[in-house]
Amino acid sequence: MKRLAVSVGCPCGIGPEVSIAAAEKGIRGARLLLVGDCATLARVTKTPKKIVRVDDPAKAWTLPAGSIAVWQPTGSLAARERKPGAPGKAAGAAQLAWIDAATDLVAKGGADALVTGPVSKDVIASSGTRGSKNFLGHTEHLAARLGAHEVTMAFWTKRLTASLVTTHLALANVPRAITTKDVARAVYWTARFVRSLEETRPVAVAGLNPHAGENGRLGHEEKKAITPGINRALSRLSDDKVKIKVEGPLPAETAFRLGAAGRYGAVVAMYHDQATIPMKLLGFGDAVNVSLGLPIVRTSVDHGTAYDRAGKGTADPHGMIEALKLAVRLAR
């Protein structure tokens, strides 16, 4: 059985609800430890008697089947601080603390993988708590906390994987952030990831510019950084004896169209929305966010806090269930 530490996300969003729903359903081959506020989780469960608060995370793995283990590494939130749809500074501080506690638990070997619920970047960054000021998202925060220098954000579905060269970056800053080094990093880790899942289809690499630059007429990033990055990644993959074809740079619409049609197993995109728009069209609710290149396994839901739906009991846990299932596969 794989031990999964689940930081439940913002207490005022749907994260606690989808985390509890997934725990109630049960995940084959896994034991779960929810990291969050007990009162918040008790509010959203249909089976509060199954919740068992543990002071020592190690005790979670020995509880009777059917129990829902909860570790609360922070002080209890007042009712006003966990009110659905109304996050404040306390909620921001709490969700960041739960991420850090769950991450450290996995990094120290106390759990096999980290699964994260949806958080609010703005609420965390505005909380004033230590380490929150420059919070841009899980990927960047976990990379810094774990000292990982080659982390790549990816989105996995059964149909297609997409990954990013740049992540949470203003669009105006993207062109100068497309470097040979970062293209090589994203292509390398994407190829390793899909091969680890026994994917044999090629990896496509999208260009930055329309028509992949049209041989330099519409931009030079393809020639200056993307093609050299692909070649560097192929050399590294060859050294590691990872056998997979990589094609590109291709026009982004072509890469994703052919990927959706089944020709490619993955597409490496240059910036955030170049990947997230097609992936949400292809599999919203099914996609799993994966951080590649970390020293631990980390998966996440691919949706937000949905403050407008929080507390109504209508949140769909399918995305969390898929994230948990993928974490089990990767932890093996």
> What is the phi/psi pair of residue 111, to 5°?
-150, 165
Rounded distance between C-alpha atoms, residue 257 and residue 242, angstroms:
26
Helix (H) or strand (E) run with residue 261 in it: helix 252-261
State the architecture of 150-293 in CATH terms. 3-Layer(aba) Sandwich (3.40)
Query: Which letter does DSSP use for residue 111 in this model?
Result: S
Tell me how many degrees the CA angle 302-304-7 measures, rounded to the nearest 5: 80
Q: For the structural domain made of 1-148+294-332, what CATH number should be given?
A: 3.40.718.10
Per CATH, 1-148+294-332 and 150-293 having the same topology is answered yes
**pLDDT at 47 (0 to 100):** 84
DSSP string for residues in 278-304: HHHHHHTTT-EEEEET-SS-EEEESS-
**pLDDT at 181 (0 to 100):** 98
List the one residue out of 169, 162, 157 whose CA is nearest residue 189.
162
**pLDDT at 49 (0 to 100):** 87
E strand spans, the chain:
2-7, 30-35, 51-53, 68-71, 113-116, 152-156, 161-164, 203-206, 246-250, 266-269, 288-292, 298-301
List the one residue out of 134, 71, 64, 125 whose CA is nearest residue 101.
71
Q: Exposed e or buried b for every residue in 259-297, given b needs 16+ CB within 10 A?
A: bbeeebbbbbbbbbebbbebbbebbeebbbbbbbbbebb
Task: Indicate the SS3 state at residue 4.
Answer: strand
**pLDDT at 257 (0 to 100):** 97
Rounded distance between C-alpha atoms, residue 256 and residue 231, angstroms:
21
pLDDT tens-place values along the chain, 332 residues long: 999 999 999 999 999 999 999 999 999 999 999 999 999 999 999 888 899 999 999 999 999 988 999 999 999 999 999 999 999 999 999 999 999 999 999 999 999 999 999 999 999 999 999 989 889 899 999 999 999 999 999 999 999 999 999 998 999 999 999 999 999 999 999 999 999 999 999 999 999 999 999 999 999 999 999 999 999 999 999 999 999 999 999 999 999 999 999 999 999 999 999 999 999 998 777 899 999 999 999 999 989 999 999 999 899 999 999 999 999 999 98
> What is the phi/psi pair of residue 55, to 5°?
-85, -25
Q: Exposed e or buried b for every residue in 143-168, given b needs 16+ CB within 10 A?
A: beebebeebbbbbbbeebbbbbbbbe
Rounded distance between C-alpha atoms, residue 81 and residue 241, angstroms:
52
> Is 237 in contact with 244 (CB distance < 8 Å)?
yes
Give me the sign of the Cα torsion angle 104, 170, 299, 93: positive
**pLDDT at 261 (0 to 100):** 96
Tell me how many degrees the CA angle 251-253-258 measures, rounded to the nearest 5: 100
Q: Which two tokens stand for residue 153?
A: 């954000």
Rounded distance between C-alpha atoms, residue 320 and residue 14, angstroms:
11
Phi-psi category of 77—alpha, beta or left, where left has phi over 0 and alpha has psi -120 to 50?
A: beta
Residue 64: other Cβ atoms inside 10 A: 7
Q: Which two tokens stand for residue 201?
A: 């289809």
Query: For residue 11, is the peptide bond before it cis, meaning its omega torsion is within 30 degrees of 0?
Result: no
Q: What ranges do the domains of the chain cover?
A: 1-148+294-332, 150-293
Beta-carbon contacts of 253 under 8 Å, excluding residues fewer than 6 positions away, are none
